[in-house]
Amino acid sequence: MRFSQWALMALASLLLSACSSLDSAYEKEVEYEYLEPESYPVLSAVGYAPISAQLGNDYNAKSLRAMKASKLEAYRELAEQVYGQRLQGKSTVADMVVVDDNLRTKVDGLIRGARVIRSYPVGDNYATEMELDMERIYLITSSVNKPRVIKDVHYY
């Protein structure tokens, strides 16, 4: 019994090694072609924040907070343009009358390479203008992962 088990194991290992040597007989080389977009859009966004509604003891502290909030609002607007906005709505109707009507929005994304163009007060609000040059984003991300397609496959 032991001899037959040993013989069966030896035969199985011989067959497996023969299959692996057949696979290594055919080596292949894949040649890739890197793709680059034809044009690069420049996205722009403006964020606003009220100065007087900010927390702070004086006008300067409120102004700095409004500046920060307007910048974050501009980033949110850029994220909406790049990734879109998720909308979730709910309406409740009772006796053919709308009782409750809700709408929620959500933006989730990562913005890299955006730059502030201008930041300035407008009355009681603070405004921040930003832009996102997609060519700059392409150059940042292409060093890590370049979009590519298979150009040719060579078998040896």
Tens of pLDDT, residue by residue over 85-143, are: 998 999 999 888 888 989 999 999 999 889 999 999 999 999 999 999 998 888 877 76
Q: Give the pLDDT confidence score for residue 27 in this predicted structure.
A: 80
Q: Give the pLDDT confidence score for residue 22 in this predicted structure.
A: 47
Decide: helix, strand or coil at residue 71: helix
Please state which of the ranges 14-18, 28-32, 106-110, 142-146 shows the lowest mean pLDDT: 14-18
Q: Give the pLDDT confidence score for residue 57 in this predicted structure.
A: 93
Q: Give the pLDDT confidence score for residue 4 in this predicted structure.
A: 66
Q: Give the pLDDT confidence score for residue 15 in this predicted structure.
A: 61
Six-digit token pair at 107?
């933006």
Average pLDDT for 39-63:
94
**CA distances for 63 relative to 39, 67, 84, 118, angstroms:** 39, 6, 30, 15
Q: Closest by alpha carbon to 66, among 80, 49, 81?
A: 49
Residues 6+ apart with CB under 8 A from 60: none
Residue 115 or residue 146, greater confidence: 115
How crowded is residue 78: how many other Cβ atoms within 10 Å of its Cβ?
Answer: 21
What's the whole-model pTM score? 0.66
- Please tell me the distance from the alpha carbon of residue 9 to that of residue 132, in angstroms, as a whole number: 64
Average pLDDT for 47-75:
95
